[in-house]
Structure 1
């Protein structure tokens, strides 16, 4: 299928990756993003295993990703007085290539010629014989051949098209934000744990980020109310020593504060009619589940299946058949992360720290890396019609009467 108009909700990672491949196959993507611009900073994401690195190479961005990688070293595990107890080796968390999420988003954005509509979101989706009629909060209504939700764990497209999704809560929540200074760190980190709570400070090239994770059952809160989210974090970490008071103070000031549950999206299908889901919107794997690598591979597969199929129903079925087994591997990889990140007993924290202390001297010291690499490699990439390096099609102007707001376009 060629020359399709495809609306993608979400301009973070999965959306621009899909737009890149849709253009390579001769289609015309438009990306709508709630944020007013590309989100800077954010957490570090990584790629590991041949398929994930291969898809970056096929996109032509592997060298750019490598140039921008964090080159993160080990994370020192410390007690409340700052004394080193053990270390978390970098291969356990940073993959073969690690990069800040905002930096990756910029690279992917620059790898497309898609139409971007910022500071807007979808309000309704109606399938018609002509396609999908879409209304927006700000822009005029438009009709597209297909719509893809790549808008994260709280996907608006998923809610509109599929109703409330089943979320598998993984027992914890986390906040991440930038902090000033480097804490005398250079491409390394510090981690402090108390029962059910973990604070991590990571410095990469002069940029320092803090992560505050805590164990909790599913909580009720407004996912758009950052003040309420900060209160949840403050309550969880109240009364702790080490750098916690200072980090909480910086959290209140941070303009890039991000808060989310550790959760997986579980759906019986990834498409409905002319609508499909991609990345966290359809199957968020959770922490340690290689969600970014999964999203980029899934974008490659979805665009490729659309290019090969004669109709969207066949394409969506083939996309799901190919990607679901990989999703299930990534889901299993992430389950149990709370027992490692936020152990709820002092004895469990002690055992984890002892294991990390002994890991460099054990015959199986690379066991963690082998396990994660094996999971990352649990898919074989197909070769689709458009070869790497094929030219992108010229951007087709919006159809008469359906133009997006000019202010949102590149």
Structure 2
């Protein structure tokens, strides 16, 4: 791969991770990102199963991620009157994690760490404020025209689409619409950094839920002056009128999104959080959706991370993004003179992992933000059971009537069972 030119589209987790491993093959790599810089803010994400295996292959990276972990000691679920229902804490074992990951880190911190590992490599360069305008390929390469003129039209041996679930690169490559191959979960989330510490210095996050389908998580940030907020909504049916309103608000910008959130959460409580979100300059939102494509590549264009296999709200998307870049680079390195075989091997390796880690437990995602009061009570009961049984499911033969609960979550919270290859680069 040493004489190959590779374009990676997207500089969130999947893009920089792919750049890190592909750089080890000796390829010349350009990473483009449509935003003007690495994005600030974002939700806390988990690294689990195969993701833990991959970061352990780079001890310095694993140590940096641990050092940057979100300052989160636990998550307290609050009732309608503000009373504590239960508190979820980590297991203390990164190989057998609970509902709260041992690698709980804010997305911007994780992206920044991986970016720092790649930005000074001699064969990697980042170009911000740029995106693909058009692509055409033949059996020898891909001709790419760029939208903003920060790069000249160029020819690449491989294009890696790592630009998220609504990947424009995927749409261009597969001659489809952006939302084709996306399966909506009829749920969404919005993320904000607020200029207040409403936790009063506590390191325990708080989850409040109200019906129908509304949830707010308040999280500590790395400093004492800010909190991070995750706002969640689910709607239970493809016929819901809320999802089109949400999509329109996201498309129309922060003002429209804030107006949507203000109306949606009317009567929920926690008005101090909602007021702070309205005043925040750091806000973005995304729809909960899975991506399932008939192929992970077409010709010399390949999909990595959410662009190829967004996992939806099951806690495995970041791990899949980390895993995909590693396996792609490893399989291409094994077949340096046969790109087609390398890409097919990548697909063959990833398919069973993706299929398993995209499994949706019954009731998800609505169980996190239920529509009815009885469902909310059931949710709280399930959280109690899962938090107790999750870390035991791989160690004890749980034969009680509640054992099935832990089993439903095995893909996201159990050990790495996928026999990850140990590639040798050099």
> What TM-score bracket applies, with the shorter chain setting the length?
0.7 to 0.9
Cα RMSD of the aligned pairs, angstroms, is 2.3
Rounded to whole Å, the distance in 1 between the matches of 2:115 and 2:206 is 32
C-alpha contact 2:159 2:302 (8 A) present in aligned 1: yes
C-alpha contact 1:289 1:331 (8 A) present in aligned 2: no
Rounded to whole Å, the distance in 1 between the matches of 2:15 and 2:412 is 25
- For residues 25-64 of structure 1, what are the structure 2 equivalents within 5 Å? 25-49=25-49, 51-59=50-58, 60-64=60-64
Residue 7 of structure 1: how far off its partner (Å): 0.4
Cα gap change, 1:303 to 1:336, in 2 (>3 Å): farther
Aligned to 2:69: 69
What TM-score does the superposition give when structure 1 sets the normalisation length?
0.86
1:116 aligns with 2:142: no
Residue 71 of structure 1: how far off its partner (Å): 4.6
Aligned to 1:293: 319
1:238 aligns with 2:266: yes
C-alpha contact 2:36 2:129 (8 A) present in aligned 1: yes
Aligned to 1:210: 229
Residue 182 of structure 1: how far off its partner (Å): 3.9
Aligned to 1:170: 185
The unaligned stretches of length 5 or more in structure 1 are 391-410
Aligned to 1:152: 164
CA deviation profile, 1:64-89 (whole Å, cap 9, x unmatched): 11111125222222233322223334
Rounded to whole Å, the distance in 1 between the matches of 2:182 and 2:415 is 23
Residue 106 of structure 1: how far off its partner (Å): 1.0
1:142 aligns with 2:154: yes
1:383 aligns with 2:422: yes
- For residues 304-315 of structure 1, what are the structure 2 equivalents within 5 Å? 304-309=330-335, 310-315=337-342
Residue 18 of structure 1: how far off its partner (Å): 0.7
Aligned to 1:408: none
1:197 aligns with 2:214: yes
The unaligned stretches of length 5 or more in structure 2 are 92-97, 394-405
1:270 aligns with 2:296: yes
Secondary structure at the aligned position of 1:81 is classed as: coil
CA deviation profile, 1:179-200 (whole Å, cap 9, x unmatched): 2214225221111111111111
Residue 137 of structure 1: how far off its partner (Å): 1.5
C-alpha contact 1:120 1:136 (8 A) present in aligned 2: yes
Aligned to 1:97: 103
Rounded to whole Å, the distance in 1 between the matches of 2:233 and 2:371 is 9
Rounded to whole Å, the distance in 2 between the matches of 1:31 and 1:323 is 22
Residue 366 of structure 1: how far off its partner (Å): 4.3
Residue 130 of structure 1: how far off its partner (Å): 5.0
Secondary structure at the aligned position of 2:282 is classed as: coil
C-alpha contact 1:170 1:336 (8 A) present in aligned 2: no
Aligned to 1:393: none
Count of residues paired in the alignment: 383
C-alpha contact 1:289 1:334 (8 A) present in aligned 2: no
Cα gap change, 1:378 to 1:333, in 2 (>3 Å): farther
